[in-house]
Structure 1
Amino acid sequence: MTRRTHLLSEVSGLALTAGLALAMAGAVRAQVPPQPAEAQQSLAPMLTLPGISVEGQQPANTLRRQTGIARLPGTVQDTPQTINVIPREVLEQQNVTTLEQALRNVPGITSAIGEGNGGVNGDSLRIRGFFAQNDVYVDGLRDFGSYTRDAFNYESVAVLKGPSGTTFGQSTAGGAINVTTRLPHLGNSYSASATGGMGPLYRGTVDVNQQVGDTSAVRLNLMGQRSEMVDRDEVESRRWGIAPSFALGLGTDTTFTFDYLHFEDDRVPDFGVPLATAPGRSVARPVTEYGVRRGNWYGFDLDRDDVVVDRATARLRHQASDWLTLYNDTRVTFVTRDFAASPLSCDAACNQNLFDGNPRTIPTVTAGGGGSPFHQETIALQNVTTAQARFTTGIFRHEATVGVDAWIQNDERTGSSYNRGRSAVSLLDPSHSAAGYSVMPGSGANVRETDQRHLGAFLTERVWLTPQLSLIGGLRISNYDVDYKTYGASTAPTTVSSNDTFIDPRASIVFEPTPSQTYYFSYATSTTPPGAFITTQPATFNAANSTLEPERNRIFEVGARASLLNDRLGLYGALFHSEKGNATETDPVSGTTTQSGDEQRIQGVELGVTGRITPNWSVNANYTYLDSETTKSTTAANQGGRVPYVAEHAASLWSTYEAFRDTPYNLTLGGGVTYRSQAFLNAANTAEVPANFTLDALVSHRFGEQSRWRASVNGYNLTNELNYDGLFGNRVVPAAGRTVLLTLAVTY
Structure 2
Amino acid sequence: MKRDARSNELRRRFTGSRSWLAVGTLAAYAVMGSTRQALAAIKSEGAPGAGEPPAANLPVKKFNIAAGGLDDGIKAYEQQTGMHVKVVIPHETLAGFQTKGVTGLFPEEEGMRQLLDGTGLSYRVQNASTLIVGLQAKESVDVSTSANSIGLAQFTEPLLDTPQTVNVVPQFIMQEQAATTLRDGLRNVPGISVAAGEAGAQGDNLTIRGFSARNDMFIDGIRDFGSYYRDAFNYESIQVLQGPASVEFGRGSTGGVVNQESKFPQDQEFVRGGLQLGTNAMRRLTADVNEPLNDFIPGAAFRMNLMGEQTNVAERDYAQTQRFGVAPVISFGMRGATRGSIAYLHEGENSTPDYGLPYFGAQTAKVSRRNFYGYASDSYLKTTPDVVTGKIEHDFANGLLVRSTLRWGNYPRDIRIVEPQINTTPTLAVANGVGVATCSPIAGTPCFNVNTPLSGVSVRRAIIARNSTEDILWEQTQAIGHLKIGKIDNNFVVTVEGGRERSRPQSITYATNIYASALNPNARDILPAPQSVGARTYVTSNAYGVSGMDTLKLTQWLQLSGGIRFDYFSTSVDAGASQLIKQPTYRGAVVVKPAHNGSIYFDYGTSFNPSAESLSLSANNALQAPQENETYEAGTKWDLFHDRLNLNGAYFRTNKSNVYETDPNNTLNVLNVGNQRVQGFQVGVLGHMAGHFDLIMGYAYLNGIVTNSVLNASPFGALYKPNDPVFSLYPYFISPNNFPLANVPRNSGNLWVTHNLPWRFVGGFGGNFVGPRRASSTAMIAVPQGNVMPVSQIPLAFKSINGYWTFNMMLRRPISDRLEFQANLINLTNKFYIDQPHPNHLIPGEGFNAQFGINAHF
Q: Same fold (TM over 0.5)?
A: yes
What secondary structure, in the 3-state scheme, does the structure 2 residue paired with 1:62 have?
coil
Counterpart residue type for residue 650 of structure 2 = A
- 1:663-687 per-residue CA deviation (whole Å, 9 max, x = no partner) reads xx31110010100100012223511
- In the alignment, structure 1 segments of 5+ residues that lack a partner are 1-40, 278-283, 486-493
Distance 1:405 1:55 in 2: 23
After TM superposition, give the deviation of residue 578 of structure 1 in Å: 0.7
What secondary structure, in the 3-state scheme, does the structure 2 residue paired with 1:620 have?
strand
Counterpart residue type for residue 137 of structure 2 = I
Q: Contact 2:771–2:804 at 8 Å: present in 1 too?
A: yes
Q: Residues 709 and 462 of structure 1: is their aligned pair in 2 closer, same or farther, counting only changes over 3 Å? A: same
After TM superposition, give the deviation of residue 323 of structure 1 in Å: 2.2
Q: Which residue of 1 aligns with 2:561?
A: 472
Tell me, yes or no, if structure 1 residue 394 matches structure 2 residue 482: no
What secondary structure, in the 3-state scheme, does the structure 2 residue paired with 1:495 have?
coil
Q: Contact 2:210–2:702 at 8 Å: present in 1 too?
A: no
- 1:511-552 per-residue CA deviation (whole Å, 9 max, x = no partner) reads 123220111000011111121123xxx4xx321221111011
Q: Which residue of 2 aligns with 1:512?
A: 593
Distance 1:462 1:436 in 2: 60
Tell me, yes or no, if structure 1 residue 460 matches structure 2 residue 549: yes
Counterpart residue type for residue 133 of structure 1 = R
Q: Contact 2:505–2:538 at 8 Å: present in 1 too?
A: yes
Q: Residues 502 and 666 of structure 1: is their aligned pair in 2 closer, same or farther, counting only changes over 3 Å? A: same
Q: Which residue of 1 aligns with 2:136?
A: 51
RMSD: 2.4
Q: Which residue of 2 aligns with 1:692?
A: 804
What secondary structure, in the 3-state scheme, does the structure 2 residue paired with 1:402 have?
strand
Q: Residues 254 and 669 of structure 1: is their aligned pair in 2 closer, same or farther, counting only changes over 3 Å? A: same
Correspondence 1:574-613 to 2 at 5 A = 574-584=650-660, 596-612=672-688
What secondary structure, in the 3-state scheme, does the structure 2 residue paired with 1:627 have?
strand
Distance 1:392 1:145 in 2: 42
After TM superposition, give the deviation of residue 198 of structure 1 in Å: 1.7
After TM superposition, give the deviation of residue 53 of structure 1 in Å: 4.8
After TM superposition, give the deviation of residue 596 of structure 1 in Å: 3.6
After TM superposition, give the deviation of residue 580 of structure 1 in Å: 0.9
Q: Which residue of 2 aligns with 1:133?
A: 214
Q: Which residue of 2 aligns with 1:240?
A: 324
Q: Which residue of 2 aligns with 1:438?
A: 529
Correspondence 1:357-368 to 2 at 5 A = 357=453, 361-368=455-462
Counterpart residue type for residue 628 of structure 1 = G
Q: Contact 1:681–1:727 at 8 Å: present in 2 too?
A: yes
- 1:96-123 per-residue CA deviation (whole Å, 9 max, x = no partner) reads 111111111112111222321x1x1211
Correspondence 1:258-657 to 2 at 5 A = 258-277=342-361, 284-287=362-365, 291-300=366-375, 301-348=377-424, 352=448, 355-357=451-453, 361-368=455-462, 371-418=463-510, 420-421=511-512, 423-435=514-526, 437-439=528-530, 442-443=533-534, 446-485=535-574, 494-534=575-615, 538=616, 541-584=617-660, 596-612=672-688, 614-636=690-712, 637=715, 638-657=736-755
Counterpart residue type for residue 506 of structure 1 = R
After TM superposition, give the deviation of residue 72 of structure 1 in Å: 1.6
Counterpart residue type for residue 58 of structure 1 = V
What secondary structure, in the 3-state scheme, does the structure 2 residue paired with 1:255 have?
strand
Distance 2:259 2:829 in 1: 32
- 1:358-394 per-residue CA deviation (whole Å, 9 max, x = no partner) reads x7x52111133xx342221222111110001201011
Q: Contact 2:422–2:448 at 8 Å: present in 1 too?
A: no
Tell me, yes or no, if structure 1 residue 124 matches structure 2 residue 205: yes
After TM superposition, give the deviation of residue 344 of structure 1 in Å: 2.8
Q: Residues 204 and 218 of structure 1: is their aligned pair in 2 closer, same or farther, counting only changes over 3 Å? A: same
Q: Contact 2:825–2:851 at 8 Å: present in 1 too?
A: yes
Task: Please tell me whether Structure 1 or Structure 2 has the larger radius of gyration of its CA atoms.
Answer: 2
Q: Which residue of 2 aligns with 1:93?
A: 176
Q: Contact 1:61–1:610 at 8 Å: present in 2 too?
A: no
After TM superposition, give the deviation of residue 434 of structure 1 in Å: 4.7
Distance 1:510 1:642 in 2: 33
Q: Contact 1:302–1:434 at 8 Å: present in 2 too?
A: no
Q: Which moves more between the two structures, 666-675 or 371-380?
A: 371-380
What secondary structure, in the 3-state scheme, does the structure 1 residue paired with 2:184 have?
helix
Q: Residues 593 and 741 of structure 1: is their aligned pair in 2 closer, same or farther, counting only changes over 3 Å? A: farther
After TM superposition, give the deviation of residue 60 of structure 1 in Å: 5.8
Counterpart residue type for residue 460 of structure 1 = M
Q: Contact 1:687–1:730 at 8 Å: present in 2 too?
A: no
Distance 1:465 1:499 in 2: 40
Q: Residues 743 and 322 of structure 1: is their aligned pair in 2 closer, same or farther, counting only changes over 3 Å? A: farther
What secondary structure, in the 3-state scheme, does the structure 2 residue paired with 1:167 have?
helix
Distance 2:133 2:702 in 1: 35
| Candidates 763, 771, 789, aligned match of 1:669 | 763
Distance 1:321 1:681 in 2: 56
Q: Contact 1:54–1:185 at 8 Å: present in 2 too?
A: no
Q: Contact 1:48–1:74 at 8 Å: present in 2 too?
A: no
After TM superposition, give the deviation of residue 430 of structure 1 in Å: 1.2
Counterpart residue type for residue 744 of structure 1 = I
Q: Residues 130 and 60 of structure 1: is their aligned pair in 2 closer, same or farther, counting only changes over 3 Å? A: farther
- 1:593-632 per-residue CA deviation (whole Å, 9 max, x = no partner) reads 8654211111111111111465432211011011111111
What secondary structure, in the 3-state scheme, does the structure 1 residue paired with 2:247 have?
helix
| Candidates 315, 318, 322, aligned match of 1:231 | 315
Distance 1:48 1:472 in 2: 27
Q: Residues 55 and 697 of structure 1: is their aligned pair in 2 closer, same or farther, counting only changes over 3 Å? A: farther
Distance 1:351 1:60 in 2: 60
Counterpart residue type for residue 255 of structure 1 = R
Counterpart residue type for residue 452 of structure 2 = D
Distance 1:436 1:468 in 2: 68
Higher relative contact order (CA 8 A, sep 6+): 1
After TM superposition, give the deviation of residue 694 of structure 1 in Å: 0.8
Tell me, yes or no, if structure 1 residue 728 matches structure 2 residue 799: no
After TM superposition, give the deviation of residue 592 of structure 1 in Å: 8.2
- 1:374-416 per-residue CA deviation (whole Å, 9 max, x = no partner) reads 2212221111100012010111110111121112111212333
After TM superposition, give the deviation of residue 659 of structure 1 in Å: 3.0
What percent identity do the matched residue pairs reach? 27
- 1:35-72 per-residue CA deviation (whole Å, 9 max, x = no partner) reads xxxxxx99997999653359983366534x2x311122
Q: Residues 203 and 689 of structure 1: is their aligned pair in 2 closer, same or farther, counting only changes over 3 Å? A: same
What secondary structure, in the 3-state scheme, does the structure 2 residue paired with 1:644 have?
coil
Distance 2:359 2:676 in 1: 25
Correspondence 1:187-266 to 2 at 5 A = 187-213=268-294, 214-266=298-350
What secondary structure, in the 3-state scheme, does the structure 2 residue paired with 1:105 have?
coil
Q: TM-score, normalised by structure 2?
A: 0.75
Distance 2:548 2:133 in 1: 18
Q: Which residue of 1 aligns with 2:52?
A: none
Q: Which moves more between the two structures, 607-616 or 214-223?
A: 607-616
| Candidates 813, 835, 846, aligned match of 1:701 | 813
What secondary structure, in the 3-state scheme, does the structure 1 residue paired with 2:175 have?
helix
Q: TM-score, normalised by structure 1?
A: 0.85
What secondary structure, in the 3-state scheme, does the structure 2 residue paired with 1:186 have?
coil
After TM superposition, give the deviation of residue 141 of structure 1 in Å: 0.9
Distance 1:340 1:593 in 2: 30
Distance 2:271 2:197 in 1: 39
After TM superposition, give the deviation of residue 316 of structure 1 in Å: 1.3
What secondary structure, in the 3-state scheme, does the structure 1 residue paired with 2:316 have?
coil
Counterpart residue type for residue 751 of structure 2 = L
Distance 1:304 1:452 in 2: 29
What secondary structure, in the 3-state scheme, does the structure 2 residue paired with 1:432 have?
coil
Q: Residues 435 and 731 of structure 1: is their aligned pair in 2 closer, same or farther, counting only changes over 3 Å? A: closer
Distance 1:667 1:462 in 2: 46
Q: Residues 479 and 297 of structure 1: is their aligned pair in 2 closer, same or farther, counting only changes over 3 Å? A: same
Q: How many residues align?
A: 667
Distance 1:293 1:43 in 2: 59
Correspondence 1:9-28 to 2 at 5 A = none
- In the alignment, structure 2 segments of 5+ residues that lack a partner are 1-85, 92-131, 425-438, 440-445, 716-735, 780-797
Q: Residues 436 and 215 of structure 1: is their aligned pair in 2 closer, same or farther, counting only changes over 3 Å? A: closer
